[in-house]
Amino acid sequence: MIFNFSLLGLLTMFLLVYIYYSKEIKDDCEGKVFRGILLGNYLIELLYLGVYIAMREGNNISIGLSKLYFSGLVIYNSLLLCYMISLILRDKYKLQQTIYSSKVKLMKYIFIVVDVVSLVLLYSLPIEFNDNIIYGMGVSVSYFMIFIYSILGFIVLFARHNSFGVKKFKDLFIIYIINVTSIIIQYYFYDICVIDIGYILITIYMYLTLENSSYLEIERLRLENETVMKSSIDTTKFLSNMSYEIRTPLNAIDGLSQVIEDSDDINNIKEDVKDIRAASKNLVDIINGIIDIATIDTGKMEIINENYDVYAMFDNVCDIARSRLKNSKVEFKVDIAKNIPSTLMGDAGRIEQVLLNLLTNAIKYTKEGYVLFKVDVINSTSLCRLKMTISDTGIGIKKEDIKNLFERFDNNGNSNKLGLVIVKKLVELMNGKIDVESTYKKGSTFVVTIDQKVVNILEDNVENTNKKKKLDIFDGSGKRILVVDDNKLNLKVANKLLMSYKVEVIEVMSGQECLDVLANDTNFDLILMDDMMPNMSGSETLDIILKLERVEGYNIPIVVLTANAISGMKEKYLKAGFDDYLAKPIDKYELNRVMKKYLNSDKKDSD
């Protein structure tokens, strides 16, 4: 009877494998794990049949086959748990492919290590036979591991039930009920091959439900519908909350501008201008944050790893933090480890963004006491683990609010601080970790841990963009600059900023006008070119100019001047042929860098 059941089971699994591979195969993580389950089940049936025949013949190889058989049972259960976890990871990181891939890789390594340890233990323990019954410590360890995997499966299933739809949850629940029932019956009734039948039923059930193409299409449509609905609700809430955030600095800008119009007191005007600039900077930060969130949500946020001077980066962060603490009673404490390698590889700009967001929050919500910025380090041969801590004695965070601190919305559906949402996502994109501890009305501590690659090169060879900024305006008399922008106000701003250099500025309002000017006059030292212009964009104008330059023999540096400042655009523009990149609103330090680079090349660049 057992032989007939085993033969029937082997035939059933052979047919299932044949049917599965005769159709289009899903190549995602769950599909790969299911293939492991399918082939594993086929091998289990084959091994069980081999063990049965060897035992009947009194063959000594039955012990080895038995250990292989029980190993297969352990691995089969680990694959079931792995399948469920991969479904959870796909749901959680469906818009963050890089993080999803790293989590899947980590999961794979963990299961491999656990399985290898289990199998080594199993093979080192004895297995015995008595009246065609297999028993011994090796068998007990196998059942123990199978039981542990099953219990973990139930825990994960109920703990993360929100990650599954009702039908998927029901299917997974049925699978684990069949699994546990088969294990219990098999453990107490050795002479019945229940566990093999149970695993065949599980594999067939998975094929007909979770891995069924019609089921998967329905599930895909369900997830898309849920995503669209949730996205629509979230977007409405988000825009409503962001409307308030944007209107706050706009109100300051507009209100103070009206005050300046009616004021003759130059000192008051200067103070109001400082406040307008601060509000403008706040507005730019909010807009950049919205762009960053949109970029991250679409999976297009890029981490650009380059060599950087780590101490220069921290100095820049500290300088900005100190400037925001002017006229404040709050003490700013800095404690940066001295043994950090001077040159690291990573995205220094994104690390600065993370630190400044956290420091800005700490400063904003701390009225007395101190804000501490501390950096510890753990060094290895090739990696440097930066542990960056921002502590404060501010108002703190309520315990119930901490868990939603980095989510888009809090418990009441209100938008959280955009900076913190971005911080969490950026840290995850850099494969880092952020932790927070807080006591309400006493203060908070944020700890960011990020691994960076150590670069063993001379410090002089590092292209450092994080050195202290220094505005060193030079006399550019005799130099000519062509500014191309379709907006009169933008042209006015550019002209005002360039006045300090005493250069001659020629303004045009379209790509075609730019080409018309160059057709008669190529005696320019620099072109500042807006990109997003109607009829002919800056990029299209650039292509024509580059062709003309090759024919006519002149060579004018062309710097893109654009409000399109999302991640990766600088690299895109440089690849397109622009010599450099300036983002709007124009930063006077960045403009100064460009001016010195292209108009004052005979002097040493000191920024």
Tell me, what's the pLDDT at 480? Answer: 94
Tell me the range of 7-11, 111-115, 193-197 where mean pLDDT is highest. 111-115
**Which runs of consecutive H residues, i.e. helices, occur in 134-193?**
137-159, 166-188
What pTM does this model have?
Answer: 0.49
344-376: b or e for each residue (b if 16 or more CB lie within 10 Å)? bebbbbbbbbbbbbbbbbbbebbeeeebbbbbb
552-556: average pLDDT: 85
Query: SS3 for 166?
Result: helix
Question: In this structure, are residues 344 and 455 in contact, taking their beta carbons and an 8 Å threshold?
Answer: yes
Tokens at 451, concatenated: 């691994």
Range with lowest mean pLDDT among 35-44, 97-106, 140-149, 193-202? 97-106
Tell me, what's the pLDDT at 605? Answer: 41
541-563: average pLDDT: 88
529-542: average pLDDT: 91
Tell me, what's the pLDDT at 3? Answer: 54
Tokens at 584, concatenated: 């709007």
Q: At residue 405, what are phi and psi to the nearest 5 degrees?
A: -60, -35
Closest C-alpha to 153, from 130, 134, 173: 173
For 476-498, the pLDDT digits (tens) are 899 999 999 998 888 988 999 99
For 129-148, the pLDDT digits (tens) are 666 667 788 888 888 888 88
